[in-house]
Structure 1
């Protein structure tokens, strides 16, 4: 039942994007990207991110997350995107505690459509599918979760044995040197055990573009329509990002931490860096 509902929602999103692409022409807006929020905008780009999470758990001391991502946007505003994370955890706790591992995340593929209502405002609509490629053993699942904090908005890419339909809408504002982004999204999970959480994403970020470098403050919020565990239904992270605004190459560095008291007992902080190429 839930799988059929997910496919209907995803199909509606894709049909709307394709229909819109035949009636409107989008003008790409080059606002600085934000490291921890959604990536979709009107620019074709490809990137690699590497995130480090400092942990204080009985079994892991830290985790790394490498992610390849990219999108290609046509002149009509219709685009295609994809992302694939790989994680690595570090620790030396004896069994049966989770062991250090290298784990693959879920592969996400999808469509997006960009509409520019004015020279300063753009709207990004996206619909995608996270395919069940993530490791499903205890070590892999634990590794993927703890490594996800540099991009907690993509927690669905860590869920094992699950297909997720991912829908989102993002208004982008770039006025003079000020830029703002709001993400509203819904991740609808489907698995054989009916254990995949439905996730609501509400992210907001803003910053200043100084020309050579852009600074942004980013708040990522994710809520489970089921409980993450007995105590937590919401997860939040706050990050500060420095992005160097080259014409084609844009390296970035971000540092952040979870805001939830219970999470901070295990996740101390995260740092991420990477580079983006816009041909």
Structure 2
């Protein structure tokens, strides 16, 4: 019996697991930076960045006196590459392992982890993909790869130091998958994501025609295949003038489709009907023309009696120019019959740039189109520039924003101040 017990197969080692950002250091980096433990409200990218910056500084402080000149040079090169990786800020996600936090060598979108990036810089993407095929979710001490072991010996870093670098990553939520840029205020509200937005605002007009008050309601319901319906309606009221007028300025309904092009890049296509009901009298026409200054890309919606259709496309590039930046480009064409005249076409375009700092997003936008403001006027170009601030956590819920837009024609006689509460889901 003793012999049988002695010959029993030893128990399998316990599977490695951690709820922290690193197996060796835990959440020491976050505690050091913020004086508290991270919570679910803290952004995943913030946790990873703080950890990598902390480890980078810690490794730079370590003495290298015992290393050979070649090893010191290799170490310095590795740390420079790690710094470049942190600046780039494209971190993977755990997109398949049941653990809430797990290393991910290369995720399904092609994003590579910090250690994988150092490996890739020396041996190439193909070699990194080979490691990922066998050890995608493995901690370094679980990787039984001669190639990885041989490479590690050339980095000037110890295996323990590589373990200190290797972050764990959380499982992406549905909101993470849809996070391809903030909602812009001046551009078309349809960007391929499900949302419900209520946006009141005021237009201040230097011509003394009164103060138009506007209320926008926009919603979109996107399905799992990226296809869904949208609707947008605006109600305006002219106050402070000799005569006041109300106008249901537009009704825009249609379908939108969004698709991921590549990492952090999205294409959105949309098409719909233009169903404006603007007032055709002098006051109503003036009101519609004034309110159109808020969003030129929707200006044809304010043409009295117009009916038609519209097509549009947007390209949204996350991490454009920097890890916290988003670039959006859009173009479209409207075909409509304004003022009971023959069919006309109105091209429209826009561009927006957003920069995120933690939960605050600052945006600069430009939009333009070509249309006629009234029955007697000729078609001409109209442009507006806009600035906006928005609180956007990247999670589902409310995202309030404040915006200011100014028409570039007419010697800046008008400016529109608005705010909105947008719910993402």
Q: Does 1:255 align with 2:404?
A: yes
Structure 1: which 5+ runs fail to align? Answer: 1-26, 94-98
> 1:74 — aligned with what?
223
Report if the CA contact (8 A) 2:305-2:340 is conserved.
no
> 1:237 — aligned with what?
384
Deviations 1:19-64 (A, max 9, x none): xxxxxxxx63431111000122232100111121111225x13211
Report if the CA contact (8 A) 1:68-1:85 is conserved.
yes
Q: Does 1:53 align with 2:203?
A: yes
Provide the rounded CA distance (Å) in 2 between the counterparts of 1:62 and 1:112: 33
Change (3 A) 1:192 1:202: closer
> 2:418 — aligned with what?
272
Deviation of the 1:142 alpha carbon: 1.9
Report if the CA contact (8 A) 1:29-1:43 is conserved.
no
Report if the CA contact (8 A) 1:29-1:42 is conserved.
no
> 2:311 — aligned with what?
167
Provide the rounded CA distance (Å) in 2 between the counterparts of 1:273 and 1:161: 29
Q: How does 1:165-204 map to 2 (within 5 A)?
A: 165-175=309-319, 176-190=323-337, 193-194=340-341, 197-204=344-351
> 1:148 — aligned with what?
292
Structure 2: which 5+ runs fail to align? Answer: 1-176
Report if the CA contact (8 A) 2:247-2:277 is conserved.
no
> 1:115 — aligned with what?
259
Q: Does 1:92 align with 2:241?
A: yes
Deviation of the 1:223 alpha carbon: 1.6
Provide the rounded CA distance (Å) in 2 between the counterparts of 1:142 and 1:134: 10
Give the secondary structure class of the aligned counterpart of 2:178. Answer: coil
TM-score, normalization by structure 1: 0.80
Report if the CA contact (8 A) 1:30-1:43 is conserved.
no
Report if the CA contact (8 A) 1:215-1:242 is conserved.
yes
> 1:7 — aligned with what?
none
Q: Does 1:206 align with 2:353?
A: yes
Deviation of the 1:254 alpha carbon: 0.8
Report if the CA contact (8 A) 2:366-2:385 is conserved.
yes
Deviation of the 1:197 alpha carbon: 4.7
Deviation of the 1:268 alpha carbon: 2.6
Change (3 A) 1:129 1:231: closer
**Larger-gyration structure (1/2):** 2
Change (3 A) 1:91 1:153: same
TM-score, normalization by structure 2: 0.54
Which protein has the bigger strand share? 1
